[in-house]
Amino acid sequence: DYELCEEWGHLYPVPREDLINLRREHLLHLLEMGDMEKALQLLQRIEDPGICLAISEQSLDQHPNLAACHFLADYLTAHFYASLTTARRNEIQALYIGSKVLLTLPELSRVNYFHLSSRPLLMLEQLLMNMKVDWVAVAVQTLHQLLAGQEIGFTVEDINSLLSKYAEKALNFPFTLKEKRS
């Protein structure tokens, strides 16, 4: 049905907003189905870069599934980096990095942290508070690789500071140990 509507749009004048809505819904449908190749082809068929940017951003703002968010954040960064404001660029890069970190977690646990996908540092802190040390190790390694040369609102030093803070708390004993005398 989406393809028929797209063909119809080539034959008859369709208002710009309706065209954006149609293609956004088509894109989200393809992404929800997991067909990234067709989603990429759909975006490449859009001749007007302004419409393509609007469709991609609106789709991302609807918070589709994890793979779709990762795909859209990657696409926007790769194709529209210069067109985005600094704040929006940082937001999209944080979402890209957060979704990449989420993909390193066990599949059944991802849903518990998906709401933090646009805030990777907070996700890391949540993992630390939940005592998921093995997951934190993989997440930190992934973050170190992804942050090399990028500015997204936090740095490797922020990660190290967070880890130090929780390591200090783990070693903080609220009571003193007393020797037992026989």
Q: What is the pLDDT of residues 151-163, one digit of tens each?
A: 667 778 888 888 8
Of 18, 50, 84, the residue that ends a domain is 84
Residues 55 and 106 in one domain: no
Which single residue is written with the structure tokens 């208002």? Answer: 15
Question: What residues make up the domain containing 144?
Answer: 86-171
Please give the DSSP secondary-structure letter assigned to residue 84.
S
Residues 3 and 74 in one domain: yes
Read off the pTM: 0.76
The parts of the chain modelled with pLDDT lower than 70 are: 149-152, 172-182
Please give the DSSP secondary-structure letter assigned to residue 35.
-
Q: Which amino acid is at 22?
A: L
Give the pLDDT score at 71. Answer: 93
Residues 112 and 71 in one domain: no
Give the pLDDT score at 16. Answer: 84
Give the pLDDT score at 174. Answer: 66
Residues 35 and 113 in one domain: no
Residues 113 and 141 in one domain: yes
**Secondary structure (3-state) at 134:** helix
**Residue 30 forms part of a structural domain:** yes
**Secondary structure (3-state) at 102:** helix
